[in-house]
Amino acid sequence: MTLIHVMALIIYETQLVVTNAYVGFLPHQFGLLYLLRILVGIVAISFVIPEDYVIPSDYLSFIYSVFVLAPFVFFGDENEGFVVFLSGVLLMSVPLVFIRKMADIRIDIVKIGLYSERWMIMILGFIVVLSLASMYVNAPIASGFSLNDSYTRRMEGRDIFLARSPIAYAISATANGIGPFMAFVAGYKRRRLMFLVVLMIPFVLYYVLGLKAPVAYVFLSFIYGILVFRRELGKLPMYIFLIILFMFAVFIFEELLFGYSMSGEYVFRRFFVVNGRNMEKYMEMIFGNYGWSVLHGVRFEKGAAFYVGKLFYTEDSNVNTNALLFSFASGGVVLYAFIVFLVGIYYALIDCYYRKYKDPFFLFLGLFYALLITEQAATTALATSGYALLFLALVMKSGKKTSRTIVSLN
């Protein structure tokens, strides 16, 4: 795992500090304080990362270690001070221990069994078709496959598909939840034709709204579905490492050939460097003299994400971060405690359903909800991104136990 972030660090020091100097990317000093950060980070991750991957909550610890804790350790501002850094590590690691303890809770749960799996897929498919059709009919003027116009398409899309409107919810659920879920089903059921159809979802989302993440979500969920089918849950970290290693090889190739790497900008910068820097900005806002309160967090009309953006970037910047840190910044210790409990209950429930029914679809919920809350509020991922909907859909599905045992013991 550390090797992944070392590769990201090499790319940061060789390219990103040059191409992103305008937003404050500076070379690291690699002094004693930085080495101490690495040591503390490794110790913290060793306490939370799972030994094996057998229940949905195991993926939360893994995903947070790779995409939250490690980026904060490697790419946060080492000049902020060690106390601020240590506080951030504790804020984002201690709850994971609590949530893993909640996974041991045994709840006597049942499935309602209102419909079959086929009907569930048909209902979710209808939502997808409705979303894609609405997007295509109301496509922005800048619609297309140009990478340069992707941000413009996203801004125009916000004006067309207004926040909190039913179609906006449907689009968000399709992009972040239902689309990847369909790809997982295609992988687990070995339905390649279904996967080719599902591939239309991220391409329409990119064409209309310039969204790039759903492409990665769909491919990752398809691969994960295949691994679950093969009973190789423990191999997911290895596959993620191999994907990152491949992208690092692409970076080297692009640098040698063109002197500039798109994989460095759109993969390593996006998933590692920006995450770490954004977390550091949140910590600076919390510990600086910016009006944050331990009881109620930030008092700003547009919320903490826009407040951090206004402080450190531009007036309308929306700076997202992981659910744990965001809740602490937004609502202080009260909201933070509530979100930790909410996430814990969510994983305790899907763990119980998986243990009882061995339904592999609950494994998908565990992995992809964890991915989303590395950059979204926990309630947003449940309500807007469709994970509460998917949970209810699975609970109301037929409750027959799966005949295959989907457990990997490496």
Cβ atoms of residues 271 and 67 within 8 Å: yes
Alpha-carbon radius of gyration of the chain: 21
User: Is residue 36 very low, low, confident or very high in pLDDT (cuts 50, 70, 90)?
Assistant: very high
Rounded Cα–Cα distance for residues 280 and 27 (Å) = 16
Mean pLDDT of 258-270: 93
Q: Which residues contact 198 (CB under 8 A, 6 or more apart)?
A: 179, 182, 183, 186, 218, 222
Mean pLDDT of 330-343: 96
- Residue 408's pLDDT is what? 41
Residue 115: DSSP 8-state: B
Q: Which residues contact 340 (CB under 8 A, 6 or more apart)?
A: 95, 98, 99, 324, 327
Cβ atoms of residues 321 and 375 within 8 Å: yes
Give tens-digit pLDDT for 265-317: 989 998 999 999 999 999 999 998 899 999 999 989 889 999 999 999 888 88
pTM, two decimals, is: 0.92
- For the chain, domain boundaries: 2-104+278-396, 117-229
Paired with 115 in beta bridges are 397
Using DSSP, how many helices (H) and how many strands (E) does the chain show?
21, 0
DSSP H helices, 76-165, are 82-102, 117-137, 150-160
Mean pLDDT of 168-196: 95
Cβ atoms of residues 342 and 379 within 8 Å: yes
Paired with 201 in beta bridges are none
Mean pLDDT of the chain, nearest integer: 90
**Alpha-carbon distances, residue 303 vs 65, 198, 274, 290 (angstroms):** 26, 34, 20, 14
Checking if the pLDDT of 1 tops 60, the result is no
User: Is residue 406 very low, low, confident or very high in pLDDT (cuts 50, 70, 90)?
Assistant: very low
User: Is residue 143 very low, low, confident or very high in pLDDT (cuts 50, 70, 90)?
Assistant: confident
Mean pLDDT of 207-212: 90
